[in-house]
Structure 1
Amino acid sequence: MLNKWNSPHLRIKRQILFSASSLIFSKPTVSVAKLDTHEPTIFTTSISPNDPNPSDPVREIVANLIKLGFRRFIGENYVRNFDDLRLNESQVDRIIYCLRTESPEIAVPFFQWLRSEYGFKHSRYSSFVVSHVLAGRKRFKELRFVLEQMLQEEGSESAPSLCELLLKSFRDWESNSEVWDMLAFVYSRSEMVHDALFVLAKMKDLNLKASIQTYNSLLYNLRYTDIMWDIYHEIKVNATPQSVYTNSILIDGLSQQSRLQDAVSFLRETAGEEFGPSVVSFNSIMSRCCKLGFAETAKALVCMMLKYGLHPDAYSYNIIIHGLCVAGSMEEALEFTNDMQKHGVEPDTLTYRILAKGFHLLGQMTGAWKIIEKMLVKGFNPDLVTYTVLICGHCKIGNIEEGLRLRDEMLSLGIQLNAILYTVLLSCLCKSGQVDEALRLFYEMEAAGLKADLVTYSILIHGLCKQEKVEKAIQLYYEMCSKRICPNSFAHSAILLGLCENEMMSEARKYFDTLTMSDLTRDIILYNIMIDQYVKVGNIGEALQLYNQLIEKRITPSIVTFNSLIYGICRNGKVTEARRWLLENITLHGLEPSAVTYTILMNAYCEEGNMHCLFELLEEMRAKAIGPTHITYTVVIKGLCKQWKLHEAVQLLEDMYAEGLIPDQITYNTIIQCFCKSKDIRKAFQLHEEMLLHKLEPTPITYNILINGLCLYGDLKDADGLMFSLQKHNISLTKVAYTTIIKAHCVKGDVHKAVVFFRHMVEKGLEISIRDYSSVINRLCKRCLISEAKSFFCMMLSDGYRPDQEICEVICNAFHRGGDISSTCELAAGMIKAGLVPDRIMRKC
């Protein structure tokens, strides 16, 4: 097995990596014989407590320490005198060396006391002396601490000099091997791996054995490299007893390197060893499998675990459940949860959190709630992470009410929302148009001590601008700037769009000029917004002026820039010039026209009735592999309908579905209207049914077209039936549908039906004006339905509408023509009383 992992190829790689530092274990380091020529630096002074020569301060201090003991020695009276001694590094080295031989139990506290109380920086020599004392007494925790302090001061690449000191001055000391081993271990734990390898190489020269803890630490640091196999080889060669962690570290390393087959092979080959496959090792491989998207492979490894007599723990199951959730296999994840319980492993908080997040990712918040309910039944309280998953999920599907309810629940449980949750809720509120509530939440966030960032401010500014609250948006913008939060393009464009959409073009231009002239931004998005808005209001001159400005500033235009300009040129009726822009300017800037570019030009040709150029552009798109959109096809269908090529239009509709494009309501409305005009009402309703089959909800305009078609070219009874059916199913209708059928009934002389639908229109809350009443009365009068007109006039008065001059004259003239002089005079008198002037006929009467 070891030969397999030490192939020539891998060994060459390792030699290249470490040849410069000579740390490969197979190569000898500095000769031990050569180092033996250096005389070790040692102290031979032996001091007795009754030494008669107290003139040497070192002798005096050592004698007093041994005589008084450490605690009495550091008493207040003596310490005052000790401060005056001002011992240097060499003197302290002598004291500690003497104490090590005479009274080792005092050497360590004295060493620590000098460092902690006086901030004394001990030499390497003193640190190693104390290290040997601690190693001899098996106080390895303190030994590690002393060496860690020394290495913090020495830093990286200090191993050669420290090893030389150990060789020169401590070669034959008791517990020397333990100090060497701990030094290598501490280097490794401090992530000074090259130094640790150097120490290990020196230990090999001295025939000193490293502990498995040291080897494991190095294995862990080198687990992402091939060098780990050198360490593993040394463990095997030295017959160092392995720990439960050794193989687990190797398998984790292979897993993290995505060498999953190698990891499984190593797992199988170590099955017969004392520390063979473990649950931890399996978990490492399964975790990596799931991260790489191999959830099924991870599931198979669970069976392998059971084969080796190992039982998956909660962490094992959570790994698989998480992998299945990420893959969208929620049913399998739930089955695995049930299997977990069958094997006596109870789901923990993490299990429920993973499942809830899985449902959230799929937008299935009902499933998420069921998981939370199970969690509560088990006695687990939802934490911040769980609430974050739920709130984000509800906000993602637009259920802001539930998101706010959960936020209130969190606060009642004493769980403080974080900035991310507030931002999610703010975003959802702004999208749903509840900007005032979003502002209230924003101030609550600040009151809780959470700082709003650029994203939070940008969301609010954008939301306020969409709700036409531009002044408040600008106020927030300046507040953001005052907090030294630099606004980005999103914030600038939100304010700019808000000003433009509120018909504040002059203010928008001033704001835009402030940004561009001060070079605060060179963002093409801002130019695109202004150019597009100028085009929409018909000011193509200003749009072209801005285009020239961005060219002068060497700001690269985007295809959106050209699309807006081409649309504006087409609106001015200059389609030929617009097409020239397509051929010249776009290609000049290295851009490719998009489907939108071609669709704008095709629509312009369609309005002109130039189907030849329209189809020419369509072929050009296909030649350039630019896929037409459903809007492109809608334009073509509109053109075909204008030429009454209905069969071709329907065929193109079918072609759209064949190409994977979904027609929208506008596409269907275009064809339906054309079939209604051609008096083929049956085909129009077939297309309506086709919309429903494709789960495409007809719009009120669709029904306006169908009702108008039935009224003009079909049966009025069918129009009535359709209206009543739509009302019964609470399908939204516009005022146009009602006025169309009312007009039709007036023309047919069915005043009763006209009044019924007029009443429905009023009851639906649609906006009614005096003109609507006047229109009906006028039609009734023209058909000499005087009594019906009079009844409708009275209904208008009872509804609280004051008649105007025109309507009074229309009905008075109708009364006069019908010989109803008394009604004419009565109405004329009423007009005079209301301040209206009767016309000549009424005055004559």
Structure 2
Amino acid sequence: MWSVYDEIKDSGTHQSDHTIGILIDGLFEQSGLQDAVSFLMGVERGESAPSVVSFNTIMSRFCKLGFVDIAKSFFCMMFKCGLLPDSYSYNILIHGLCIAGSLEEALEFTKDMERHGVQPDTVTYNILCKGFHLLGLMSGAREIIQKMLIKGLNPDHVTYTILICGHCHAGNIEEALKLRKEMLSRGFQLSVIVYSVLLSSLCKSRRAEEALRLLYEMEAVGLEPDLITYSILIHGLCKQGDVQRASELYREMYMKRIIPNYFAHRSILLGLREKGDISEARKYFDNLLTRDVTEDIVLYNIMMDGYVKLGNIVESTRLYKQIIEKGINPSIVTFNTLIYGFCKTGKLVEAHKMLDTIKLHGLLPSPFTYTTLMNANIERGNIHGMLKLLQEMEANAVQPTHVSYTVVIKALFKLGKLQEAVHLVEDMYAKGLTPDQITYNTLIKCFCRARDFLKAFQLHNEMLVHNLEPTPVTYNVLINGLCVYGDLMDADRLLVSLCDCNINLTKVAYTTLIKAHCAKGDVHRAVGLFHQMVEKGFEISIRDYSAVINRLCKRCLITGAKYFFCMMLSDGICPDQELCEVMLNTFRRVGDLNSVAELLAEMFKLGFLRK
């Protein structure tokens, strides 16, 4: 390159701007950054004619390397050399600033551009749109489009692509689909990439049917779906539970000579497993095995996890042995699955052995590894074992998660160390960890059991202070705590205040109170709450009626039991034989022979008695 350049100089041939630009670009390409700068400085000193093109080339390279400030210094140098930057010069800097996240400065340069008589073009506005998109500020991107239209410039293919991608990433699929229609109406054809982004967003929104229609549209306009397009759709269909349709697309890929990748294999296998048919998942897995695809450890992990969830640790262990025999490297997920399986089936010794095996494979236990083992030890009442694991976790520099801390809180409660549990939450905040609703719910439950309702409600208020929305479970815990360990009237007042504040409650909140009033013998209040529960639109089952009637029968509250029994029949819910026998025994016990006769007749109608 240098030889050719020297020959140009020696021959006296005029060096065009592009000649110097090519040379500078070439030096950068060869990592000769310092040589490129030295050459440009030589041009500036008059050894060659400086040009806007050469400055643009060097600015572009520095921006690509992330050195926007250096690019800006060369931009200023252009003025010193008596050169006026063109639209390309400005666009280079504006793009560099947008990529660096300095959007305000990029907008300032756009104004500076106009002050120097250089008009922003479509490329400038596209760059700014992309800058807003990268920061997730699609409202700002819309404002840029408005400015663009005022200037008499029309959005091009690139503009639409940026906007569609931006809205999809922001989760606004409807706006993205509107832009797609607008784009097609203006005669622009969407690229495979844009279709793939739209397909992905539709699948994430569980709108797989619409995604399939887009696939057919792609093919209709002559675009060939690629590996990524098919993989997105297969994954989306599997997540939606439509494994059959996903399998059809999977076969279609082979027909088009597109070889599915690990992503498609994982999606199909996970879909079959989530469908609840482990035997079908195993058939598919074994089929992959014959095609030497199962070198992918994730496929093994999916199958092992499926067996563990069904309580089949034996088959999960068998697959683990197969991994070792094949020489496939197990991942930490593999071991975590086995540890969870052993803990679930009460095999703590084997679970602890796996902790040593992890280290033998050169892997580090994850927070999940320790948390699972710690929780299993607590369930067994082995608090000492849990604390030992916590110490080991800290010694190995494995940072506990909020779940780990929740497990420790449970242990501290069992030891009666409630204040230490509260301090642990303070430590979490100090370490930058945010306790979740489960952490607080665990603590609230502990204080309710300790009959310290003042502290329980303080923790509820603390959640609100930290912008942590209490869940229906939080209120269920508080209501249940007041019913079992506190004052039933307080529980009633809490329910009323929650309803007044339009806080969504689950059916559990009502059933808990109804059972409590039945146990206390307050049939009138139980009936009122039951009707309130029905009015809220909750689905009422035989279990709800049985729970109430059983409690009323225990208290020998015959009138109340008969009232709920009649209500159940009028709602078209058929009682079971067990409930009828409970009521029959109660009527006999109190000597209510008329009710005995009536119930026997009802039982005969229901087919529970022979004539």
TM over 0.5: yes
Equivalent position to 2:476, from 697, 700, 704: 704
Note the C-alpha offset of 1:540.
Answer: 1.1
Post-superposition Cα deviations, 1:252-308, rounded to whole Å, max 9, x if no partner, equal: 556666777776676566557497443333323332332232333434444443444
8 Å contact kept, 1:255–1:284: no
The separation in 2 between residues aligned to 1:825 and 1:237, in whole angstroms, is 121
Residue 831 (structure 1) aligns with = 602
Residue 542 (structure 2) aligns with = 770
Note the C-alpha offset of 1:510.
Answer: 1.5
Equivalent position to 1:555, from 321, 328, 336: 328
The separation in 1 between residues aligned to 2:313 and 2:303, in whole angstroms, is 11
Note the C-alpha offset of 1:768.
Answer: 0.9
Structure 2 residue 376 is the aligned partner of structure 1 residue 599:
no
Note the C-alpha offset of 1:582.
Answer: 1.8
Q: Is the alpha carbon distance of 1:552 and 1:269 closer, same or farther for their aligned partners in structure 2, counting shifts above 3 Å?
A: closer
Post-superposition Cα deviations, 1:154-187, rounded to whole Å, max 9, x if no partner, equal: xxxxxxxxxxxxxxxxxxxxxxxxxxxxxxxxxx
The separation in 2 between residues aligned to 1:553 and 1:766, in whole angstroms, is 53
The separation in 2 between residues aligned to 1:715 and 1:346, in whole angstroms, is 75
Q: Is the alpha carbon distance of 1:382 and 1:765 closer, same or farther for their aligned partners in structure 2, counting shifts above 3 Å?
A: farther
Note the C-alpha offset of 1:546.
Answer: 1.4
Code of the residue aligned with 2:296 in structure 1: it is D
Equivalent position to 2:298, from 525, 538, 552: 525
Q: Is the alpha carbon distance of 1:355 and 1:645 closer, same or farther for their aligned partners in structure 2, counting shifts above 3 Å?
A: same
Q: TM-score scaled by structure 2? A: 0.89
Structure 2 residue 131 is the aligned partner of structure 1 residue 328:
no
Structure 2 residue 53 is the aligned partner of structure 1 residue 280:
yes
Residue 446 (structure 2) aligns with = 674
Residue 504 (structure 1) aligns with = 277
Structure 2 residue 187 is the aligned partner of structure 1 residue 414:
yes
Which shows bigger deviation, 571-580 or 531-540? 571-580
Structure 2 residue 432 is the aligned partner of structure 1 residue 640:
no
Residue 452 (structure 1) aligns with = 225
1:574-723 matches, cutoff 5 A: 574-583=347-356, 585-723=357-495
8 Å contact kept, 1:243–1:275: no
The separation in 2 between residues aligned to 1:480 and 1:835, in whole angstroms, is 56
The separation in 1 between residues aligned to 2:243 and 2:11, in whole angstroms, is 77
The separation in 2 between residues aligned to 1:629 and 1:825, in whole angstroms, is 59
Note the C-alpha offset of 1:465.
Answer: 1.9
Code of the residue aligned with 1:831 in structure 2: it is E
SS at match of 1:707: helix
The separation in 2 between residues aligned to 1:820 and 1:535, in whole angstroms, is 53
SS at match of 1:687: helix
The separation in 2 between residues aligned to 1:522 and 1:274, in whole angstroms, is 61
Code of the residue aligned with 2:602 in structure 1: it is M
8 Å contact kept, 2:518–2:526: yes
Residue 473 (structure 1) aligns with = 246
SS at match of 1:359: helix
Note the C-alpha offset of 1:799.
Answer: 4.5
Residue 361 (structure 1) aligns with = 134
Note the C-alpha offset of 1:506.
Answer: 1.3
Post-superposition Cα deviations, 1:40-76, rounded to whole Å, max 9, x if no partner, equal: xxxxxxxxxxxxxxxxxxxxxxxxxxxxxxxxxxxxx
The separation in 2 between residues aligned to 1:757 and 1:590, in whole angstroms, is 59
The separation in 2 between residues aligned to 1:265 and 1:524, in whole angstroms, is 52
Note the C-alpha offset of 1:705.
Answer: 0.7
Note the C-alpha offset of 1:697.
Answer: 2.4
8 Å contact kept, 2:28–2:61: yes
Structure 1 spans left out of the alignment, 5+ residues: 1-221, 223-227
8 Å contact kept, 1:462–1:491: yes
- Which one has a bigger Cα radius of gyration? 1
The separation in 2 between residues aligned to 1:601 and 1:675, in whole angstroms, is 25
Residue 505 (structure 2) aligns with = 733
The separation in 1 between residues aligned to 2:554 and 2:511, in whole angstroms, is 17
The separation in 1 between residues aligned to 2:437 and 2:412, in whole angstroms, is 17
Q: TM-score scaled by structure 1? A: 0.66
Note the C-alpha offset of 1:240.
Answer: 6.0
Which shows bigger deviation, 742-751 or 344-353? 742-751
Residue 311 (structure 1) aligns with = 84
The separation in 2 between residues aligned to 1:678 and 1:466, in whole angstroms, is 43
SS at match of 1:463: helix
Q: Is the alpha carbon distance of 1:671 and 1:451 closer, same or farther for their aligned partners in structure 2, counting shifts above 3 Å?
A: same
Post-superposition Cα deviations, 1:745-787, rounded to whole Å, max 9, x if no partner, equal: 4445555554443334323332211332343345456556666
Post-superposition Cα deviations, 1:454-490, rounded to whole Å, max 9, x if no partner, equal: 2222222222222222222222211111211111221
Structure 2 residue 265 is the aligned partner of structure 1 residue 492:
yes
Note the C-alpha offset of 1:597.
Answer: 2.0
Code of the residue aligned with 1:632 in structure 2: it is S
Code of the residue aligned with 1:509 in structure 2: it is R
The separation in 2 between residues aligned to 1:821 and 1:536, in whole angstroms, is 51
Q: Is the alpha carbon distance of 1:454 and 1:749 closer, same or farther for their aligned partners in structure 2, counting shifts above 3 Å?
A: same
Residue 435 (structure 1) aligns with = 208
1:74-85 matches, cutoff 5 A: none
Structure 2 residue 573 is the aligned partner of structure 1 residue 573:
no
Which shows bigger deviation, 678-687 or 689-698? 689-698
Note the C-alpha offset of 1:739.
Answer: 0.9
8 Å contact kept, 1:244–1:275: no
8 Å contact kept, 2:42–2:48: no
8 Å contact kept, 1:260–1:285: no
The separation in 2 between residues aligned to 1:631 and 1:597, in whole angstroms, is 12
Q: Is the alpha carbon distance of 1:799 and 1:332 closer, same or farther for their aligned partners in structure 2, counting shifts above 3 Å?
A: farther
8 Å contact kept, 1:268–1:277: no
Q: Is the alpha carbon distance of 1:782 and 1:636 closer, same or farther for their aligned partners in structure 2, counting shifts above 3 Å?
A: closer
8 Å contact kept, 2:17–2:53: no
SS at match of 1:452: coil
The separation in 2 between residues aligned to 1:785 and 1:448, in whole angstroms, is 74
Equivalent position to 1:514, from 264, 287, 292: 287
Q: Is the alpha carbon distance of 1:807 and 1:602 closer, same or farther for their aligned partners in structure 2, counting shifts above 3 Å?
A: closer
8 Å contact kept, 2:164–2:176: yes
Note the C-alpha offset of 1:337.
Answer: 2.1
Structure 2 residue 121 is the aligned partner of structure 1 residue 348:
yes
Which shows bigger deviation, 551-560 or 494-503? 551-560
Code of the residue aligned with 2:411 in structure 1: it is G
Note the C-alpha offset of 1:619.
Answer: 1.9
Structure 2 spans left out of the alignment, 5+ residues: none
8 Å contact kept, 1:267–1:276: no
Which shows bigger deviation, 547-556 or 524-533? 547-556
The separation in 1 between residues aligned to 2:495 and 2:14, in whole angstroms, is 89
The separation in 1 between residues aligned to 2:410 and 2:222, in whole angstroms, is 58
The separation in 2 between residues aligned to 1:270 and 1:486, in whole angstroms, is 54
SS at match of 1:353: helix
Count of matched residue positions in the alignment of Structure 1 and Structure 2 = 611
Which shows bigger deviation, 334-343 or 265-274? 265-274
Q: Is the alpha carbon distance of 1:792 and 1:404 closer, same or farther for their aligned partners in structure 2, counting shifts above 3 Å?
A: same
Code of the residue aligned with 2:423 in structure 1: it is Q
Code of the residue aligned with 1:517 in structure 2: it is T
Which shows bigger deviation, 812-821 or 433-442? 812-821
Residue 388 (structure 1) aligns with = 161
Post-superposition Cα deviations, 1:580-604, rounded to whole Å, max 9, x if no partner, equal: 2221x33333333222222222221
Residue 372 (structure 1) aligns with = 145
8 Å contact kept, 1:256–1:288: no
Residue 94 (structure 1) aligns with = none
8 Å contact kept, 2:17–2:54: no
Q: Is the alpha carbon distance of 1:397 and 1:830 closer, same or farther for their aligned partners in structure 2, counting shifts above 3 Å?
A: farther
Which shows bigger deviation, 771-780 or 541-550? 771-780
Which shows bigger deviation, 698-707 or 275-284? 275-284
Q: Is the alpha carbon distance of 1:553 and 1:810 closer, same or farther for their aligned partners in structure 2, counting shifts above 3 Å?
A: closer
Which shows bigger deviation, 512-521 or 773-782? 773-782
